[in-house]
Chains A and B, each alone.
Chain A
């Protein structure tokens, strides 16, 4: 009841707005929703992108943080917002994992992937497979061997269930056919603290978080989960080149509701394509170690489908607590 009422009201509003939208777009400020708080990956991408989009669209672009439930609140908000192109979303791969996690938990998904249409992928960073420096594992091979010897005994730490750290390790374990024990925490900071404090021994975290600790010798980097080596870690191999056929990225993409008229989507796509090449945006992204890795809508759709399928498969294979 509480949820359907605003939806009905918003549909009415969108009908009224739809007439105006056919003539020209955009004629008023655009809301760019980030389902994550200021300082999170989605927000850090949205903030510098907004002024760049503003320059391309000639209308203000306002970043709105709709935070809660690991991204579910904001994503759900966008899925019921007016489909007039004035509510767009920047989010991370939780848009793929949340519906799948809802399904395996046996509840109705709060939103589904097919409610959204992808506009562009903005960036995609691999996670770094890291271990505590006191451990004897100097290579991925050594870690895998040890894990095979003691199944379900080595503790890995994540930023919480179904976060990128969890998914990266889960996919790695399924690819390497090993088992480790999961220690979930409440975020990237606590996860890093647990690893550096020696309460867990393995994790997979973002390059931005890993590199200062790595430079100070507080952790050892074994591999990255992407397709190619990173400039900042030239000696760190990818899991792929080590023979583990997997790729997991912490990516950020822009989405809109499926019902948004194609003409508007085309305008937005063109604007995003321009914005990611905007020199200010490129400079800001470099500072945050999140370089743009742009994919236009058609390629992003293909890539997103593949990525979601892979994550969904991995989630379905995670053992669920028995009733």
Chain B
């Protein structure tokens, strides 16, 4: 079996997604033609997406193969996405300064291998300076964590 094209893969994922949306829409009132309910537009759009994604699959028999896409930077990408998830998880628990400090330290010292001293100095200066500038001076509300940090 030859490997699938990019379009076939993406089209199938989108088609699956639109079917999922259609399934999830079943509980929302559809209404009538004269008075469309909250479920009418999602149903219509999910059907449109389904049609488009089938067209993408059908039209994408030739073209770039999915297996040919090189994910050379995956190590960094996983690290950065992990950092994003960490920020979202920790922001309101550890507060802005601690969260950003840890995130910067991990990215600079571990993912980018710049050494611990550079990482600590950079992370500490950056997190406290930006907090002072935006939270204290410009009144942008940033979450506070334990120890008043």
Contact = CB atoms under 8 A, between A and B. Distances in A.
Contacts of A6: 92-93
B29 A321 contact: yes
A9 B89 CA distance: 13
A9 B93 contact: yes
A207 to B, nearest CB: 31
Contacts of B93: 6, 9
Q: Which bucket holds chain A's interface residue count?
A: under 10
A9 B29 CA distance: 38
A322 B92 contact: no
Contact of B141 (A9, A64, A323): A64
Nearest to B141: A64
Contacts of B37: 321-322
B115 interface: no
A315 B93 CA distance: 38
B59 interface: no
B63 interface: no
B82 interface: no
Contacts of B92: 6
B135 to A, nearest CB: 12
Q: Which bucket holds chain B's interface residue count?
A: under 10
A323 B141 CA distance: 42
A321 B29 CA distance: 6
Interface in B79-134: 92-93
A138 to B, nearest CB: 32
B141 A321 contact: no
A322 to B, nearest CB: 6
Contacts of B29: 321-323
Interface in B14-63: 27, 29, 31, 37-38
Contacts of B141: 64
Contacts of A321: 29, 31, 37-38
Nearest to A320: B29
A64 B142 CA distance: 11
A321 B28 CA distance: 9
B140 to A, nearest CB: 12
A321 B38 CA distance: 9
Interface string A1-43: 0000010010000000000000000000000000000000000
A128 B74 CA distance: 61
A321 B37 CA distance: 7
Contacts of A64: 141
Interface string A145-184: 0000000000000000000000000000000000000000
A284 B128 CA distance: 36
A150 B141 CA distance: 52
A9 B93 CA distance: 8
Contacts of A9: 93
A160 B7 CA distance: 42
Nearest to A9: B93
Interface string A307-320: 00000000000000
13 contacts: A6-B92, A6-B93, A9-B93, A64-B141, A321-B29, A321-B31, A321-B37, A321-B38, A322-B29, A322-B31, A322-B37, A323-B27, A323-B29
